[in-house]
Amino acid sequence: MTKTSFLGDQPVSQIGYGAMQLAGPGVFGPPRDKAEAIAVLRRAVELGVDHIDTAQFYGPDVVNDLIREALHPYADGLKLVTKVGARRDDKAAWLPADRPEELRDQVEQNLRSLGIEQIELVNIRLMDDQHPSDVPLADKVEAIKALVDEGKVRQIGISNASLEHVQEALALTPLGEIQNAYSVANRKDEAVLDLCREHGISYVPYFPLGSAFAGGPKALAADPVIAGVAEKHGVSASQIALAWLLAHYDRMLLIPGTSSVAHLEENLAVGDIALDADDLTQLEGATQLGDPMAAVQH
C-alpha cells in the first residue's frame, strides 16, 4: 500500500506519475501508440495516482493534450504539476526560455492545454552549463510569484537546482518541491535533500532509476547489491531502487514515467515492498554511477 505524503502543503500518494515518456522518442513528437498513452493515464488514476508531472515542452504541445483528452474533467484531488523555463526547436533541441515574460506565457499555455484555471505547482527548470541562461533566479521566482498572487499557480518549485540555487530561492519564497536527479546509484544531491529535510520540502527525484547515459535500469540490475536485495524480495532491481527512495525520506515523491500499462502497474506495486534495516544497510553499498547528462531531457 503506497503511503500518503505531501506535495508542498497538499497530501498526496507518495507515488505519482511522470508523463514525459508519453511523447515520442527524445520527448519529441506524438506518441508511438496514442491509445496506449491514453490507457496509461487512465489506469494510473484508477490505481490511485493523484499527482501527475508534465510540461508544455514535452512533445512539445503533445503530453498536456493527451492528459486533457484522457482525464478531463479531472478527478477530485488530482494534482497537476508542470515545469517552465525551456523550449524545443524544430530539431528537438532543448533551449532556455526563462525570461519573465516567457515564463508567464508558458504557464498560460499549460493552463489552456490542460483545461484548468490553476496549476497546483510550477517548477522553474534551471538550465545547465551546456544551455546557459543570463536571467537572474530572482527574476524567475518573482515572475511565478506574480502568478501565485493572481491565483493561477498554487505553489512554486525548482528543478535542476544546486544547493546555492535552493538557498537563494528559499530566501525569496516558500518552495513546494525540489526536483533534481537522484537515485540509489547517484546520490550527488544529498546536500539538497538534507536541506529539504531541514525545511520539510518535498523532494522529487528525476531519473530515479539512473539516466540512460549512465546505464539506467540495466546498470541497476547488474549491481550485485541491488540484485541481491531484489532476489530476496522476489521483485526487479528497478523496483528495489524505487523502494529505496521511498524509504529514504517521508516527503520523497516518486514520478516514474512509462508509456506501458504493465510497466506502470509494476512501478505502483513498489508501495507494497517493505525494505528492512538489513536491506537498507546493504543498499548503502550500491555502486555510484552518477548521471553525466542528468540536466537534459527532464
Ordered structural domains, the chain, with CATH: 4-211+247-272 (3.20.20.100)
Identify which of 105, 106, 95, 110 has the alpha carbon closest to the alpha carbon of residue 63: 110
Q: Assign 3-class secondary structure to 40-86.
A: HHHHHHHCCCCEEECCCCCECCCHHHHHHHHHCCCCCCCEEEEEECE
pLDDT of residue 210: 80
pTM above 0.85, yes or no: yes
Roughly what angle, to the nearest 10 degrees, separates helices 34-46 and 261-268? 20
CA torsion angle 244 245 246 247 (round to 10): 50
Active site residues: 58
How far apart, in whole angstroms, are the C-alpha atoms of residue 27 and residue 64? 12
pLDDT of residue 67: 98
DSSP 110: H
pLDDT of residue 122: 98
pLDDT of residue 2: 77
pLDDT of residue 128: 78
Residues of the chain with pLDDT below 50 are 295
pLDDT of residue 293: 53
CA separation, residue 128 to residues 96, 158, 292 (Å)? 9, 13, 12
pLDDT of residue 215: 77
pLDDT of residue 163: 97
Residues sharing a CB contact under 8 Å with residue 51, sequence separation 6 or more, in sequence order: 7, 12, 13, 16, 17, 78, 79, 80, 81, 120, 253, 255
